[in-house]
A and B are shown apart, each in its own frame.
Chain A
Amino acid sequence: MKTKLIIFLVAAALSVSSCKHDEWFDRPSKNLITDEQLWNDPVLITSLLANYYNRLPTMHGVFNTGGMTEMDDAMWSGHRDQNWRNDLHYGDDYGRYWDYGLIRDISVALEGIEQFGGSLTAAQKQLFNAELRFIRASVYFEMVKRMGGVPLVTTQLIYDFSGNPEPLQMPRAKEHEVYDFIFSETEAIKDHLAPNANSRTRANTVTALALQSRSMLYAASIAKYNNLMGAPISTPGGEVGIPASMASDYYQKSLTASRAIMANSNYGLFNANANKGENFYTMLNAKNNGEVIFAKDFQTGVKVHGFTYENIIKGSTEDNESSSALSPSLSFVESFDYLDGSVGTIRDRDQNGNHIVYANPADIFANKDGRLYGTVIYAGTTFKGRNTSIQAGVAVWQDGGYDLRTTSRLGDNYAADGGLWTGFDGPADNQQDVSNTGFYLRKMVSDAAGASARGISANNWWPWYRMGEIYLNAAEAAFELGETGAATTYINTLRERAGFPANSISNLTMDIIRKERRVELAFEDHRYFDLKRWRIAHLVWNGEESDRNAVVYGLYPYRVVRPGHPTNGQYIYQRIRPTRFRRARLFRMANYYASIDQNVLNNNPKIVRNPFN
């Protein structure tokens, strides 16, 4: 009896006290942010946006050295454990990208701001909404580039636990519908982005137009060139393949967007330095707001990248490992024209097949397009104020011919005459962390102090969009629309910035435009997509061992040892096929559209497979 009474009293006391102190339980959480808090706080939303901007998709961009050596005009010359990049079979899933996680995060944010963001001003809401939709359009652009038409999900998909997931299973949109979505989205938001006009790292009106300029050009060229193939790549439902009749409309949309950007006085081709080679390098190395439309920025001590650590020329590295992971190809160097307009083939031998002897190492590259200097470090140039030492070995004249001799000890002297044998910077065939082609990358490799040391690293920014590309987009679209005069002007303006005389091109062709894109936009995540949309990737990377584009070749300088002869101490050049480059690139029809993951197909029976896989 007594026990029962005590239990009753305790229970009563507990219930009374809990009633009194309800507010004690109702405190705001210190480790959770509620929807109301988040979507009403511009600072929190901005930091969320920073996360989404940081997740903007890219194939081989944002300083992805390894990716660049798989598809761009270069080979891998870094650590041997990644030599598979030189021996690559492009699988059916090469380039697969299917990121509905990011799409959902954006939908959550868009709907959260609408539903909860009562205390945001209308202007704040409009800007956040527009930026989120810009990121979403960029994600869809990346997906359609690689996969073809994908399901267009624009709201949160919420399961109702009914046991029937069918309402959540969305079929793939047609390829052109995704491009149309990107166009209508960028049209709708471009004016709302005006408050960001002075930013180069948040989307503004011109950024939206730049996305439009590039995406519409892609859509147009797929519509045109896919249908010029013997057997166009398509699916019956249009998930892959765009009707040829839509090409001119897309070209027009791209051209209109490009012209709107070029008419904006805040943007223009960077042309501050009279030395055109240095000018091209500085354009991306310095953070200038005129050329670059949209960038991913980095800052020492906060957010840095290792591109300079990975790719700086061997003799200039400030670290004890890596360097020189990417060696640009000879075919790329030869794609830069000479300033007198002649084709850029390197003149290493005369008509009879004999070596041409040059007095200085850089003489063979004299009078070339200034962008070559700005993109590639070749023999006889400087980097960070240091004279580079690029020399493969000595060419000893013997019995009426050159005997090419090299040493694996970089920087050694050749005993017979005491001169340099193999340079500090190589090149050395079949070695790691030194150029295997005779060329190093200069573009985007920072010359800042400590940039190549892992403790400090580089902080130069990544250009998502820049004016050079807009001129090329405009030229291509205008040319395809028959406005050859306007297209020629755009190309010539760009070439003048590279050091060519005015009006250097008078008879513009598509091949010239394609070559200009190759040299201007190299290593900026364009080449792979350009070759795909022109439908020539399978012809350029044809798997042929003798093909100068499918195989990365090199050019090695040698110092002539021929005592008593006027050419003694001068230089000859030898074309070589690097040993470490193992397999000619072979792009198959199946690579035009990456395969969709089988798990995605299993989860959603409405998704159709891509052609050839």
Chain B
Amino acid sequence: MKYSSIYLSILTLASLLSMGCEYDNFEAPKSTLSGSIVYEGNPVSVRTGGTRLQLWEDGHALRTPMDVFIDHEGHFSASLFDGTYKLVTNGDAPWSPRNLDTVEVTVRGNTVVDIPVTPYFVLENESFTAAGTTLNAQFAIRRVVPNANVSRVALYVGHSILTDQGRFEHRVEMDAANIQLGQPLSMSTTLPASLANLDYVFVRVGVLSNLSGEYYYSDVQRVNLP
């Protein structure tokens, strides 16, 4: 009798423990939804942590959006359970609001979805060169949305690949009088000592339309300093 009560309590404890394991160990989602924000097949670069998508899943009593941030090169990804999700593009962005802003996505395993958008402006033919402590940038701005106007054009220099309006080490703005759409444009700046001493810097150009608060950026480029 004495022994059996000990065995019983051990058994109870063990069953409680194994129950606990079952209750709080959910399997992590294995599927991935990924893709890019694209215009004419090219990813649209944005500010890190700035522009985002939202995923919604119907069928639950309460709804909570899942924020999916877009990285600096226009890619996004999210680990999800298999199911049907609504992908919504909202928030401030350098592209015009999409007429049909909800995309229904069925996630089965690894799913890739590209979201086509229409940026207000795009940057083209950009190239960056360094000579001494001077950094030169060549690029062209093409207007995509007819009623958009350029409000700012800026050159960003940073010591990390995440360089944009939110974080940068050096920034110069182009004179509004010099901004000509569709023409080859150039900017140059003298790097401050903190950057000029580095082996390389990361550079990109951003253009802000008067219709939104977020810049459209060129791809980040690594420029070796002489």
Within 506-565 of A, Cβ neighbours of B (below 8 Å) are at 538, 542-546
Contact with B along A587-599 (1 / 0, CB 8 A): 0111000000011
Chain A's interface size range is 20 to 34
- Chain B residues with CB under 8 Å of A538's CB are 213
Are B171 and A589 in contact (CB-based, < 8 A)?
no
**Which residue in B63, B90, B149 is a CB contact (below 8 Å) of A602?**
B63
* Residue contact B165 to A598, C-beta cutoff 8 Å: no
Q: Given the interface contacts A230-B149, A612-B90, A613-B90, does A588 sit within 8 Å of B213 by beta carbon? A: yes
Q: Given A590-B91, A598-B65, do A230 and B151 touch, yes or no (CB 8 Å)?
A: yes
Chain B min CB distance to A234 (Å) = 12
A158 within 8 A of B: no
Question: A13 on the interface (CB 8 Å rule)?
Answer: no
Question: By the criterion CB–CB under 8 Å, are A602 and B62 in contact?
Answer: yes
Decide yes or no: A231 and B212 within 8 Å by CB, A544-B165, A545-B171 being known contacts: yes
Question: Smallest CB–CB gap between A84 and chain B, Å?
Answer: 16
Asked if A33 is an interface residue, CB under 8 A from chain B, the answer is no
- Measured CB to CB, the closest approach of chain B to A606, in angstroms, equals 14
- Report yes or no: B165 in contact with A543, Cβ–Cβ below 8 A: yes
Assess whether B92 is interfacial by the CB under 8 Å rule.
Answer: yes
Check A612–B149 contact: CB distance below 8 A: no
Minimum CB–CB distance from A549 to chain B (whole Å) comes to 15
B139 at the interface (CB under 8 A from A): no
Chain A residues positioned under 8 Å from B90 (CB to CB): 612-613
Instruction: Report yes or no: A543 in contact with B166, Cβ–Cβ below 8 A.
Output: yes
The answer, yes or no, to whether B209 is at the interface (CB within 8 Å) is yes
Q: Would you call A612 and B165 a contact (CB within 8 A)?
A: no
Who on chain A is nearest to B64 by CB?
Answer: A598
Does B69 make an interface contact (CB < 8 A)?
A: no
Question: How far apart are A54's CB and chain B's nearest CB, in angstroms?
Answer: 33
A188 part of interface (Cβ distance < 8 Å): no
Query: CB-nearest residue of chain A relative to B61?
Result: A602
Kindly state the separation between the CA atoms of A589 and B208 in the bound complex, as whole angstroms. Answer: 13
* Most central of A89, A538, A545 by chain B CB within 10 Å: A545
CA distance A543 to B50 in the complex (A): 12
Q: Does A601 contact B (CB under 8 A)?
A: yes
Verify B165–A586 contact, CB threshold 8 A.
yes
**CB-defined contacts of B91 to chain A, threshold 8 Å:** 590, 612-613
The contact of B171 among A231, A546, A613, by CB within 8 Å, is: A546
Complex interface: chain A residues within 8 A of B166 (CB): 543, 586
A89, A231, A588, A599: residue with the most chain B Cβ atoms closer than 10 Å: A231
Interface assignment of B197: CB less than 8 Å from any CB of chain A? no
Chain A residue contacts of B171, Cβ below 8 A: 544-546
Q: A586 to chain B: which residues have CB within 8 Å?
A: 165-166
Q: Which of B67-98 contact A (CB under 8 A)?
A: 90-92
Q: Chain A residues near B148: list those with CB within 8 A.
A: 230
Inter-chain contacts of A589 with B (CB < 8 A): 92, 212-214
Cross-chain pair count, CB within 8 angstroms: 47
Whether, in the assembled complex, B113 has its beta carbon less than 8 Å from a beta carbon of chain A, the answer is no
Kindly state whether residue B200 has any CB partner on chain A within 8 Å. no
Least CB distance from B100 to A in Å reads 15
Chain A residues with CB below 8 A from B63, complex form: 598, 601-602
Closest residue of chain B to A609 (Cβ to Cβ) is B90
B162-192 contacts to A (CB < 8 Å): 165-166, 168-169, 171
CB distance from B207 to the nearest CB of A (A): 14
User: CA separation between A332 and B148, bound complex, in Å?
Assistant: 34
Within 213-248 of A, Cβ neighbours of B (below 8 Å) are at 229-231
CA A590 to CA B166, docked complex, whole Å = 15
| Chain A hits for B210, CB < 8 A | 229-231
Enumerate A21-43 residues with CB–CB distance to B below 8 Å: none
CA distance in complex: A545, B157 (Å) = 12
- Name which residue of chain A comes closest to B151, CB basis: A230
Q: Determine whether the beta carbon of B168 is less than 8 Å from that of A545.
A: yes
Interfacial residues of chain A within 165-202, with CB under 8 A of chain B in the complex: none
A609 to B213 CA separation, bound complex (whole angstroms): 19
Q: Is B195 an interface position by the 8 A CB rule?
A: no
User: Contacts A586-B166, A602-B63 hold; do A612 and B92 have CB atoms under 8 A apart?
Assistant: yes
Closest partner residue, chain B, to A601 (CB atom): B63
The distance in angstroms between the C-alpha atoms of A525 and B140, with both chains bound, is 44
Q: How far is the CB of A70 from chain B (nearest CB, A)?
A: 17
Q: Nearest B residue to A92 by beta-carbon distance?
A: B91
A543 to B211, CA, bound (A): 18
List the B side residues contacting A602 at CB < 8 Å. 62-63
Asked if A230 meets B211 with Cβ closer than 8 Å, knowing A545-B168, A602-B62, the reply is yes
Nearest-neighbour CB distance to chain B for A515, whole angstroms, equals 23
User: When chains A and B are docked, how far (Å) is the Cα of A586 from the Cα of B151?
Assistant: 17
Q: Which residues of A sit under 8 angstroms from B65, Cβ to Cβ?
A: 598
Per the bound structure, the CA–CA distance linking A58 and B171 in Å amounts to 37
Contact (Cβ within 8 A) A588 B92: yes
The residue of chain B having its C-beta at the shortest distance from the C-beta of A231 within the complex is B211
Which A58-98 residues have a C-beta within 8 angstroms of B? Answer: 89
Across the two chains, which residue of chain B brings its CB closest to A605? B63
What are the residues of chain B within 8 A of A89 when measuring CB–CB?
Answer: 49
In the complex, A538→B211 CA distance in Å? 13
When chains A and B are docked, how far (Å) is the Cα of A412 from the Cα of B151? 51
Q: Which residues of B contact A613 (CB under 8 A)?
A: 90-91
Q: How far is the CA of A239 from the CA of B213 in the complex (A)?
A: 21
Of all A-B residue pairs in the complex, the 3 with the closest CB atoms, nearest first, are A230-B210, A589-B213, A231-B211
A-B contact pairs, 30 of them (CB 8 A): A89-B49, A230-B151, A230-B209, A231-B211, A231-B212, A538-B213, A542-B165, A543-B165, A543-B166, A544-B165, A544-B171, A545-B168, A545-B169, A546-B171, A588-B50, A588-B213, A588-B214, A589-B92, A589-B214, A590-B91, A590-B92, A598-B62, A598-B63, A598-B64, A602-B62, A602-B63, A612-B90, A612-B91, A613-B90, A613-B91
A residues adjacent to B (C-beta < 8 A): 89, 229-231, 538, 542-546, 586, 588-590, 598-599, 601-602, 612-613
Q: A89-B49, A230-B211 are in contact. List 11 more A-B contacts (CB 8 A).
A: A229-B210, A230-B212, A544-B165, A545-B169, A546-B171, A588-B50, A588-B92, A589-B213, A590-B91, A598-B64, A598-B65
